[in-house]
């Protein structure tokens, strides 16, 4: 069964750093497109970052230069390193895999998703 489990969220002061983890099972992270999406309370989802199977990365402008997406192939885990955190980064952070239908995998349609981890940036 394909499963994603995020950890690492919590309360952090503005300017602080946090690293989120997304442990995958049932598939290989390094062979798939993986993404982070966040959702502020009461708002719609916001795409944050994506890593391709070849290791290439993309970021939303709002996090570029502050957040870094990476993966550990030996642990089959995706990460999001978040630095210089701001109040507006407060959200539930989800990891998701690029959706696959048969032999075709899509870089920018997302499913399955993890359950999310809450990041609260506040003093």
Partner 1 sequence: EIVLTQSPATLSLSPGERATLSCRASQSVSSYLAWYQQKPGQAPRLLIYDASNRATGVPARFSGSGSGTDFTLTISSLEPEDFAVYYCQQRSDWPPLTFGGGTKVEIK
Q: Which residues of the shown chain bind partner 1 in the complex (CB under 8 A)?
A: 37, 43-47, 50, 58-61, 94, 96, 99, 101, 106-111, 113-116
> Taking the complex as a whole, how short is the minimal distance between the CB of residue 59 and partner 1, in angstroms?
7
Do 117 and 11 form a contact (C-beta atoms < 8 A)? no
The least CB distance from residue 102 to partner 1, in Å, is 9
Task: Please state the closest distance from residue 107 (CB atom) to partner 1, in A.
Answer: 8
Nearer to partner 1, 90 or 113 (CB): 113
Please, which residue, 13 or 41, has the CB nearer to partner 1? 41
Q: What is the DSSP string of 47-113?
A: EEEEE-TTS-EEE-TTTTTTEEEEEETTTTEEEEEE-S--GGG-EEEEEEEEEEETTEEEEEEEEEE
């Amino acid at each position: 069964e394909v499963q994603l489990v995020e950890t690492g969220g919590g309360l952090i002061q503005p300017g602080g750093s946090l690293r989120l983890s997304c442990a995958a099972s049932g598939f290989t992270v390094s062979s798939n497109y993986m993404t982070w999406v966040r959702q502020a309370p009461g708002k719609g989802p916001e795409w944050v970052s994506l890593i391709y199977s070849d290791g290439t990365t993309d970021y939303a402008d709002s996090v570029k230069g502050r957040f870094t997406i990476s993966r550990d192939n030996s642990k089959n885990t995706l990460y999001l390193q978040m630095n210089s955190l701001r109040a507006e980064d407060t959200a539930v952070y989800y990891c998701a895999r690029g959706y696959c239908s048969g032999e075709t995998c899509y870089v920018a349609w997302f499913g399955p998703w993890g359950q999310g981890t809450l990041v609260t940036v506040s003093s």
